[in-house]
Structure 1
Amino acid sequence: MVGFDPGVQGAVLSAGEAALAGSAAGMVTRALISPFDVLKIRFQLQIERVSSYRQEGKYWGLFQAFRCIHSEEGPSAFWKGHIPAQLLSICFGAVQFASFEFLTEAVHNSTSYDSQTAGVHFLCGGLAACSATVVCQPLDTLRTRFAAQGEPRVYRNLRHAVFTMWRSEGTLAYYRGLSPTLIAVFPYAGLQFFFYNILKQMLASSPEAGKSRGNLRSLVCGSGAGMISKTITYPFDLFKKRLQVEGFEAARLHFGQVRRYTGLMDCMAQIAKEEGVRGFFKGLSPSLLKAALSTGFTFFWYEFFLNAMSDAKNRRRANGLTKDVEER
């Protein structure tokens, strides 16, 4: 294992096993942080003029938004779009971590750079996330639309959403928002791996420390890395969400004003003109909570599953050696 050092000696894990651990980490994490994702998306898609920033929007505070969604749509609303979101997390986690391990191993084997340095992790983490984004963008668009729609629902289920978008908007609809996503995902994911590497070195534990302490360190370092990287790259996430709901205005009328954008630059210009620079950071509070939990849990569960697989390999190896000795 070149990219990560889970602290277990002996068994070397493959890119396929890294993909399996990444998928499992994404699945568990998504189930835990879905409500924050729904809150973030609702804030990001809300249109308010600068002069009346607090009055025009349906949602104006984190707890107020939580109570409003709960009372109007029920508890299940916080898991709207959960199926495409889960598919997205599983797919993204698999591609991202498998690519990351592959890239760091390539750097380790073909260059003189130390694959454990923060700089290498930034580059490999960013490229791995770009690969995962291209593969998983349709699922991200579906997830955003499910989380964005109110009642009555436009899309009954995932199958209905896929066919409705394809018939009414064409194949390119699944890739709306890809440009700002790719622009943002490279530095965002790169910074996640970069700061995770740095924070883990700063909070390095002694070799005698137990696995529970090491897992807690992964959670803390991942949370810190997620919050820092999210704050730096947040506006591009907002642009992506606004572009992903193009052609979906009917489902948004219940929440207030809607806008149409011709592209990324038009989206940026309209937000700056109508909502000010502060508009680029709408939904930042729930997004930071989500980023802290999401990134922290992702790294926590990723290393947890890596350790579990490595332990299983070591046990099988030990059992095999024991049998060989007994046979001799």
Structure 2
Amino acid sequence: MGTSSKSNSDNLDLEYAVAGAISGFVTRFACQPLDVVKIRFQLQVEPITNHHVSKYRSLLQAFYLIFKEEGISAFWKGHVSAQLLSVIYGMSQFYSYNVLMHEFHNYPLLNEWKYSTKFVAGAGAGFIATTVSFPFDTIRTRLVAQSNNHVVYKGICHSCSCIIRHESPKAFFYGLLPTLLQIVPHTGLQFAFYAFFTDMYKKCYNEADIKFSNSMISGSAAGLLAKTIIYPFDLSRKRLQIQGFQNGRKSFGSFFECNGFIDCLKVTIKKEGVKGLFKGLIPSQLKASMTTALHFTIYEQSLIALKVLRLYISE
């Protein structure tokens, strides 16, 4: 009996990991264009307004300009590294979350603090997934940040060798601190908000299970709220990841220089005002709503499909 129980538990853990990987892959492909525009906004020192020195001036203008100058493929620039990031992150995140929640169930007192427990489990999962997948995020950011006129990296392998040769392995983890400060509460908030909104939806429509529409609506609301709360950390992370990458940014205007996370916030406020901390917020909110809705919905649907497949094979 013990062996069978252990086998079932291992199968469930594997299904959580596989569903997380599928969710990460599909979500990344669908939302990558918004991510590219968001990163370009975050890295632009000049104001994102109709200003003569600004390259990107609005969401629609940025989409049009990138398409005009670099072609449709630019919206999926760095996509391979982004997919590696998303698959590894999604797999690590949902696997870690379910393992942590399973452990928390061993303590009945924690069941009284349902949303707080989900926040802690989500935060822990975010910490683990971010640390494991962070080098791919740095590579992706640099591939997206470089212009077609000043190509420094030709691909993932080339970027890895260049960073190791000309900088150091530590460069893969530039911006890890603000990323963890961002992702840990962000992931915790996502899981807590998602649980809250799905519960509210089930009560309103008298449903026992989480349906497709519930996942989409609850995921969208959770993503929007969570991203808005932690956004300045996201901006700092991107700006720290391009330090030492001046050559790839020559046609994008002034280069943002800083020394660490706190200095990044100080320099941003000094040069661009408090509004500078929220550059790229609109595409980021759109992306967060879409991403989180897809992330949870595809995860839930993948779990259902994997369960059906498992039952079919066992028969």
Pairwise TM-score range, normalised by the shorter structure:
over 0.9
- Cα deviation, residue 43, structure 1: 0.1
CA shift digits 1:239-284 (9 cap, x unpaired): 0000000111111120100022111111111100000000000000
Q: Which amino acid aligns with 1:237?
A: D
Aligned residues: 304
Q: Is the 8 A contact 2:47 2:54 kept in 1?
A: no
**1:1-328 to 2 correspondences below 5 Å:** 14-48=12-46, 54-114=51-111, 117-152=114-149, 153-204=151-202, 205-207=205-207, 214-317=211-314, 319=315
SS of aligned partner of 1:47: coil
Q: Is the 8 A contact 1:104 1:115 kept in 2?
A: no
Larger displacement relative to structure 2 (135-144 or 111-120): 111-120
Change (3 A) 1:164 1:115: farther
The residue aligned with 1:325 is none
Q: Which amino acid aligns with 1:257?
A: S
The residue aligned with 1:8 is none
The residue aligned with 2:4 is none
What CA distance in whole angstroms lies between the structure 2 residues aligned with 1:133 and 1:316?
34
What CA distance in whole angstroms lies between the structure 1 residues aligned with 2:192 and 2:275?
27
Task: Structure 1: give runs of 5+ residues left out of the alignment.
Answer: 1-10, 320-328
What CA distance in whole angstroms lies between the structure 1 residues aligned with 2:260 and 2:208?
54
What CA distance in whole angstroms lies between the structure 2 residues aligned with 1:300 and 1:42?
28
Change (3 A) 1:190 1:208: closer
Higher helix share: 2
Change (3 A) 1:286 1:136: same
CA shift digits 1:17-68 (9 cap, x unpaired): 1011100100011000000000000000000269x88443210100000000
Larger displacement relative to structure 2 (16-25 or 107-116): 107-116
Cα RMSD after superposing both structures: 1.9
TM-score normalized with structure 1 length: 0.89
Q: Which amino acid aligns with 1:89?
A: S
Q: Which amino acid aligns with 2:192?
A: F
Task: Structure 2: give runs of 5+ residues left out of the alignment.
Answer: 1-7
Larger displacement relative to structure 2 (108-117 or 78-87): 108-117
